[in-house]
Amino acid sequence: MADASLLRWCNRYTKGHDNITPASDLNRCWGDGLRFCALLYTWFPQKIPIKNLSNKTEADKIKNLEIAFTTAEEAGIDRLLDPEDIILCQDTKSIILYLSTVYEVVKTLPIKFTASDAWLRKFDEDEQAKKLQELKQRMEAEKKCCGSVTF
């Protein structure tokens, strides 16, 4: 699976959790364990206490990663990553290999959690509002920078 396709696949199955945003890449975004947990929650919701997860401390992050990797291991996915290593340095190739392995194992399993239509609508509205705000900020910055030009 190509990197962009893998990222899209991951984001498709990590939606639906208020405290977890979509991944923007296949390295830095995975260090707190939340996205690994959200991804695996799609197939194993009974094993991941998604609403109780936090990423405020290093201990929280290690706990999240341990929950995700243990859940994956129980599903037959080799533990290719170490929580402490992931927190220190998110190696893109290692994360891609791990996520590809997750994909291969879960692709035929029944999905047990999907984001509700209401959650997806709100998420889309929030994303549109953020984009509009960013555009307004850029326009204001350009206006301040360039001022009005007369010929």
For 64-104, give the secondary structure using H, E and C: HHHHHHHHHHHCCCCCCCCHHHHHHCCCHHHHHHHHHHHHH
Confidence of residue 83 (pLDDT cuts 50, 70, 90): very high
Identify the burial level of 149 via C-beta atoms within 10 angstroms of its C-beta, where 0-12 means exposed, 13-18 middle and 19 or more buried: exposed
Mean pLDDT, the chain, integer? 92
> What pLDDT, on a 0 to 100 scale, did the predictor assign at position 60?
97
Residue 15, classed as helix, strand or coil, is coil
Residue 143 to residue 40: CA distance in whole angstroms = 46
Residue 17, classed as helix, strand or coil, is coil
Residue 117 to residue 134: CA distance in whole angstroms = 26
Residue 93 confidence (pLDDT) above 60: yes
**Mean per-residue pLDDT for 94-115?**
96
> What pLDDT, on a 0 to 100 scale, did the predictor assign at position 142?
85
Residue 1 confidence (pLDDT) above 60: yes
Indicate the pTM of the whole model. Answer: 0.83
Tokens of 133: 């705000």
Residue 94 confidence (pLDDT) above 90: yes
> What pLDDT, on a 0 to 100 scale, did the predictor assign at position 147?
64
Distances in whole angstroms, Cα of residue 50 to Cα of each of 24, 35, 43? 20, 10, 13
Tokens of 144: 């301040």
Burial string for 81-118 (b: 16+ CB within 10 Å, else e) reads: bebeebbeebeeebbbebbeebbeebeeeeeeeebeee
